Structure 1
């Protein structure tokens, strides 16, 4: 194959790719100009008109398992807890368990317990990097404590946490203790809708 035929072939491939580009928001077939359809079951993109397979071996981003009802779906799901504004890190950090046991349920030796305690301490320090984050953590803990004492539902706690975060982000709370500041969003969200 000569250099010019390779160049011609490359230019032809580029033209074919350009023909398959979007046309008014819809992909078109490079052969006949027909509309393309994604076949997720086979992982292919196929032309509706001529049947040309334009793309194959597409990545399936769905789960590798099947579920037939919501209970089965929840049982098979392997994702972590949902994010929440009620925690200073939104529930995304990893927590080291408080139990002094290994993966098999056996008790740790005294040396291993000391090591785990040091790791827990450092983990806690790294989760709150600066004073603003420590203040947020303390205030969110206070919001949770007050909401529990008042018997408020979780959605009220979440909303109070969001209000506190917004006030903190907009520097409306400088120089005030987190426990005192946390009372206002809980009071606001815990009040009856007509009392606001």
Structure 2
């Protein structure tokens, strides 16, 4: 099967799309065990079982994982030798079919390859619509939260000003109280001196 990929941002994306296309085509003819060998270590690590997908190629990796789930079992690894094209090796019982029969059944026309790209494009459009809806909901919520935040900030500013005014008034009253205590102590001393004469 031959297929031309349109535009890819990186070699990893091209390898991921090639693997995805090959897996989709292979799943039409084989659902047994599979070994997936690739030369992209980052992609192979992202496909490891139990690994959380935080890759820049998130959607492609998730699509590959979904395509791999149609096989009874699979292994994937990256070769650290010279770069090789992706190898999809179905593990089939040799008595069930001949290599020529398998090759004939896997040869699909361009219409079949185009169909898988159209399915992927419609899936991507659906995901994009969901993300846009979430973003719109987030924007609406953020407007409400930002107006509540502005309201809280204005209340906090008013409370801060009131607190500063109270502190200033307390300072003035403390100074005045100290003056009065000084006067009272002097008056008491004057009275004591007057009585002693």
TM-score by length of 2: 0.20
Q: Higher Cα Rg: structure 1 or 2?
A: 2
Q: Which has the higher helix share?
A: 2
TM-score by length of 1: 0.20
Q: Which has the higher contact order (CA 8 A, sep 6+)?
A: 2
